[in-house]
Amino acid sequence: MTRAGEHKISVVGWNMRQALDLSHDQARQRLVAQYDAIPAGEPVRLAKRTSNLFRPRAELSNPGLDVSGLNSVLSVDVEARTADVQGMTTYEDLVDATLPYGLMPYVVPQLKTITLGGAVTGLGIESSSFRNGLPHESVREMEILTGDGQIVIARPDNEYADLFYSFPNSYGTLGYALRIVIDLEPVQPFVHLRHVRFHDLDQLVATIDKITTDRTHDGEDVDFLDGTVFSPEECYLTLGAWKKTAPYSSDYTGSQVYYRSVQNRARDYLTVRDYLWRWDTDWFWCSRAFGAQNRYIRRLWPKRWLRSDVYWKIIRFENKHGVAARINRMRGLPDEERVVQDVEIPLARTADFLRWFLKEIPIEPIWLCPLQLRDTETSRQGWPLYPLAAEERYVNVGFWSTVPIPPDGADGDANKQIESKVAGLGGHKSLYSDAYYSKADFWSAYGGNAYAAIKERFDPARRLPDLYEKVVNRK
């Protein structure tokens, strides 16, 4: 990373960078002191103001690690197209720092409060992923507080390369990213959208195949690609392309709901910032569960509260108090199972999965996001805890709702069905939500041997939880 001040074009001058470096060093020292003060055997967790995890977590006997001083962009090097970013920085703040310089991260996950560290130690995806892969693939180096209390700089070519490659999908069980250097790509002011309808799932998948190969459709470039499935007969691919100018730009941050425009408009234009956050205003379509898409309620709903972190607070309140669940029981309605998942399905099996899902699991719409690992030396080395095949193309299928639990069923049945189907099709699922795998199946899918070795090297005393225990047993 070239230090700010060595190029004529940079976000901060040398004096400002020195001040930010000092602030970072102080925050790092405070964090290490807190970590050392937690008695051995007590659980460790970050005390974050926001979270995008959907699985319940055990209560802590300590206040958690205060990471409030690790949420800034340290520098953006415009000439080198890199950013030096503290691990708890949200993508909202990161994008605000890079867009004025005509740059953005290679992949910007859909929700504003996802942190860079969270997207790397977990997983992130978006409509640029068919050409840019996953967020961790554009990482150059990471400063990590490991489970044994040491701070190391991990790169793909140094003595901590094994930690660098194993960090994605480790979910804070190997350590915490304090600072991350990432590559950036240039942007244009607008994104032109085409919403292309399909009446057949096989045709939809065939078109994804062609676009991810050619990066064009009907003679026009495609820079962004995702999709929305409302039913087997009503599916859309949304194709985005950079534009220097636009005849207009739509606004979906107020009364209009973005995902409904997919059904009603063949073409559209958004500013680059509004495109990046098009899903955040209504948490894709999940805001409808809170009445926020009712036109009368929406008139009264403050615009500043139309964002995913507000909806997440409502969900967290419901998880804690169960108000809606009690009301449903009083009305004689069945209990509901939460089915909030993102899964990666090989492209060739995606139509099969969608047909099965739409028949067996009563959830719509469904989000589609094509994905392929980048063709770089780093990614060709492989990411052992989420082992996607470098030559394979996948489609991320996202579904986020609840389903009724039948009288002869139990909570978790639908999720277990999905896990089995995904595995049978050669896919994977993200681990940010409920998981029910057996220990053998889990480690077979998520790099058990590699994880055991890296855990022993960087957390031999097991101060941080084991990945299986954290994800499946919710510790």
Express each pLDDT in 340-399 by its tens digit. 999 999 999 999 999 999 999 999 999 999 999 998 888 888 999 999 998 999 999 999
Give dist(CA 261, CA 419) in Å, integer: 32
Q: Is 169 left (phi over 0), alpha (psi -120 to 50) or beta?
A: left
pLDDT of 1: 37
- Please give the model's pTM, rounded to 2 decimal places: 0.93
CATH number at residue 204: 3.40.462
Residue 458 lies in a domain: no
Instruction: Judge whether 336 and 409 are in contact, CB under 8 Å.
Output: no
Residue 441 lies in a domain: no
- For Cα atoms 469, 473, 475, give the angle at the middle one, nearest 5 degrees: 65
Give dist(CA 415, CA 338) in Å, integer: 8
CATH number at residue 99: 3.30.465.10
pLDDT of 52: 66
Give dist(CA 26, CA 23) in Å, integer: 5
Task: Give phi and psi for 387, each to the nearest 5.
Answer: -80, 75
Please state the separation of Cα 341 from the chain's center in Å: 11
- Check whether residue 238 and residue 268 sit in a common domain: yes
Q: Which residues of the chain have pLDDT under 70?
A: 1-17, 48-63
- Check whether residue 169 and residue 89 sit in a common domain: yes
Structural domain that includes position 147: 14-186+464-471
Residue 2 lies in a domain: no
Give dist(CA 154, CA 151) in Å, integer: 10
Residue 1 lies in a domain: no
- Check whether residue 139 and residue 199 sit in a common domain: no
Residue 456 lies in a domain: no
- Check whether residue 150 and residue 195 sit in a common domain: no
pLDDT of 323: 79
Residue 5 lies in a domain: no
pLDDT of 6: 40
- Check whether residue 163 and residue 275 sit in a common domain: no
Residue 257 lies in a domain: yes
pLDDT of 40: 82
- Check whether residue 239 and residue 353 sit in a common domain: yes
- Check whether residue 253 and residue 131 sit in a common domain: no
Residue 173 lies in a domain: yes
Instruction: List Cβ neighbours of 196 (8 Å cut-off, separation of 6 or more).
Output: 207, 217, 236, 237, 238, 239
- Check whether residue 320 and residue 410 sit in a common domain: yes
Give dist(CA 300, CA 137) in Å, integer: 42
- Check whether residue 207 and residue 78 sit in a common domain: no
- Check whether residue 215 and residue 340 sit in a common domain: yes
Query: Count of domains in the chain?
Result: 2
- Cis bond before residue 302 (omega within 30° of 0): no
DSSP 406: P
- Check whether residue 141 and residue 195 sit in a common domain: no
pLDDT of 116: 97
- Give residue-wise pLDDT tens across range 436-448: 999 999 999 999 9
- Check whether residue 275 and residue 402 sit in a common domain: yes
**Dihedral, CA of residue 266, residue 244, residue 94 and residue 173, to nearest 10:** 50
